[in-house]
């Protein structure tokens, strides 16, 4: 059954505060093979925090998403400033769009990552493709 389009505009989160540390940034860089300078996190690091908000969406039984039938279709980040090793970040996901194509739900999301003072640091945009009962 398709995911209901009334999901558009719904928010999930905020996530628990995530303390960015040198150790976490170094580990992420090593696992992903990306460059890491101590002055700023690797460009794709915010997915670590944004994924917690995505799990909130995908694990909510009222949404009707079957996690094992989700493919990550797209990801991009829009920065207000770099993520640094002193940040404490939370993410809130908003479903921006939902459409059905060829029996699949195409879910467009935006996760706003804010620091401890509530200032926007980065927005993580993702497209999730869900095929129910696949």
CATH number at residue 21: 3.10.129.10
Q: State the Cα–Cα distance between residues 117 and 15, nearest whole angstrom.
A: 15
How many structural domains compose the chain? 1
Please tell me the predicted confidence (pLDDT) of residue 133: 66
**Rounded Cα gap, residues 49 and 25, in angstroms:** 12
Query: Range with the lowest mean pLDDT among 9-18, 59-68, 98-107?
Result: 59-68
Domain carrying residue 126: 5-130
Instruction: Quickly list DSSP for 32-71.
Output: HT---BTTB--TTTTHHHHHHHHHHHHH-TTT---GGGEE
Over the chain, what is the mean pLDDT?
93
CA 117 from centre of chain: 20
Q: If we measure between CA atoms, which residue out of 93, 82, 102, 104 comes closest to residue 38?
A: 82
Question: What is the value of pTM for the model shown?
Answer: 0.92
Residue 51 is predicted with a pLDDT of 94
pLDDT value at residue 67: 84
Instruction: Tell me which residue has tokens 């640094």.
Output: 84
């Amino acid at each position: 059954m398709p995911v209901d389009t009334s999901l558009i505009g719904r928010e999930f989160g905020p996530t628990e505060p995530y303390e960015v540390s040198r150790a976490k940034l170094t580990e992420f860089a090593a696992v992903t093979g990306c460059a890491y300078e101590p002055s700023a996190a690797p460009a794709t690091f915010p997915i670590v925090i944004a994924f917690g908000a995505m799990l909130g969406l995908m694990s909510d039984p009222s949404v009707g998403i079957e996690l094992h039938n989700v493919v990550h279709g797209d990801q991009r980040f829009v920065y207000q400033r770099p993520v640094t090793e002193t940040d404490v970040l939370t993410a809130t996901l908003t479903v921006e769009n939902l459409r059905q194509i060829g029996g699949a739900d195409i879910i467009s999301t935006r996760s706003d990552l804010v620091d401890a003072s509530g200032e926007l640091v980065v927005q993580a945009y993702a497209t999730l493709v869900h095929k129910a009962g696949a």
